Amino acid sequence: MTENRASNEKRGRSFISLCAAAILAYGVAGGFVDGICSAAQAPFSIRGAVGIRDREGKAKQDHSGVVVFLDDLTNPPRHEAPAENAKISQVGKQFVPSVLPIAAGATVDFPNDDMVYHNVFSFSQAKSFDLGIYERGSKRSVTFDQQGLVKVYCNIHPQMVANILVLPNAFFSVTDSKGEFILSGVPRGEATVRTWHARSSEQPEQRIYVKEEGIFATDMRPIGKIEFQITEDRLAVKHKNKWGQDYPAKY
């Protein structure tokens, strides 16, 4: 392992020299040099899929909405704040998207893009806030510094629920309808691929080695594509409004 690391570092250094030489030689052709250097650095992409089964154990048609993320990296890169804020809109009396992973320290904008007023609030341990009532075209923002799950509600419409997962880093993805995900720019080293789904208590995970030759399991078996299965076992839980009361029958 140590030997591998040493040779990787050596390769890294000679690669840096190669880039430096290329920049000196072809400094004017910036785009070209960038191309060479980024190709040689080749940030790794982890691909995979999550299959969701319903409560009866039947495979669902739609496998979207599972958050897949990396945790416990042995070689975490320096954390950089995202250039743009993340966003959860209010549209058609829903929060869109209803699942949003972010890295701790990120800010989320909550624009009202709807025809009606909404009141956005959360009493979660990781972040408690109340943005008050605001109209179409307005936007309010919240910064999330503490890791954890933040459940966001509207005080007017009980069906409006969003889950913000505040994670340790920016290596995350949300599955598409086929269940597929991609984690891009992953550094070499060990990491745990974890999962989270709003309607399941199952959170399958896998420890992996990311090496120059590819991804390996802890028994050094090569992994082409990471696959997980999740079975739904949670119904939507009724929640109270911000005053701790049931929502009125009509709203």
Q: Could you tell me the smallest distance in angstroms from the CB atom of residue 120 to Cu ion?
A: 8
CB of 144 to Cu ion, least distance (A): 21
Considering only the stretches 68-76, 111-119, 130-138, 185-193, report the one whose residues sit in contact with Cu ion under the rule CB under 5 A: 111-119
The dihedral through the CA atoms of 42, 216, 229, 233 has a sign that is negative
Nearer to Cu ion, 86 or 156 (CB): 156
User: What percent helix, strand, coil does the chain show, rounded to 5?
Assistant: 15, 40, 45
| Contact status: 154 vs Cu ion (CB under 5 A) | yes
Does the footprint of Cu ion cover residue 152 (CB under 5 A)? no
Site mask for Cu ion (CB under 5 A), range 160-199, x = bound: x---------------------------------------
Binding part of the chain for Cu ion, among 39-47, 78-86, 152-160, 241-249 by CB under 5 A, reads 152-160
> How many whole angstroms separate alpha carbon 110 and alpha carbon 141?
6
Q: Which is nearer to Cu ion, 49 or 154 (CB)?
A: 154
Q: Read off the amino acid at residue 39.
A: A
Q: DSSP class of residue 116?
A: S
Options 96, 126, 149, 156; binder of Cu ion; rule CB under 5 A: 156
CB of 106 to Cu ion, least distance (A): 23
The order of strands in the sheet holding 67-71 is 172-174, 67-71, 189-196, 206-211, 214-217, 222-223
Amino acid letter at 151?
A: K
Whether the upstream peptide bond of residue 222 has omega within 30° of 0, thus cis, is no
Q: Of these, 118, 127, 194, 197, which contacts Cu ion (CB under 5 A)?
A: 118
Tell me whether residue 63 or residue 157 sits nearer to Cu ion (CB atom). 157
Closest distance to Cu ion from the beta carbon of 118 (Å): 3
Specify the DSSP element, H or E, that contains 25.
helix 2-26
Q: Based on CB atoms, which residue is closest to Cu ion, 68 or 154?
A: 154
Residue 131 vs 210, nearer CB to Cu ion = 131
Question: What is the residue-wise DSSP string for 27-78?
Answer: TT-HHHHHHHHHHHH--EEEEEEEEEE-TTSPBPS-----EEEEES-SSPPP
| Residues 219-248 contacting Cu ion, CB under 5 A | none
User: Would you count residue 133 as binding Cu ion (CB under 5 A)?
Assistant: no
Partners of residue 158 on adjacent β-strands: none
Kindly state the number of chain residues that form the binding site for Cu ion, as judged by CB under 5 A: 5
Q: How far apart are CA 19 and CA 25, in angstroms?
A: 10
> Which position's Cβ is nearest Cu ion?
154
Binding site for Cu ion (CB under 5 A): 118, 154, 156-157, 160
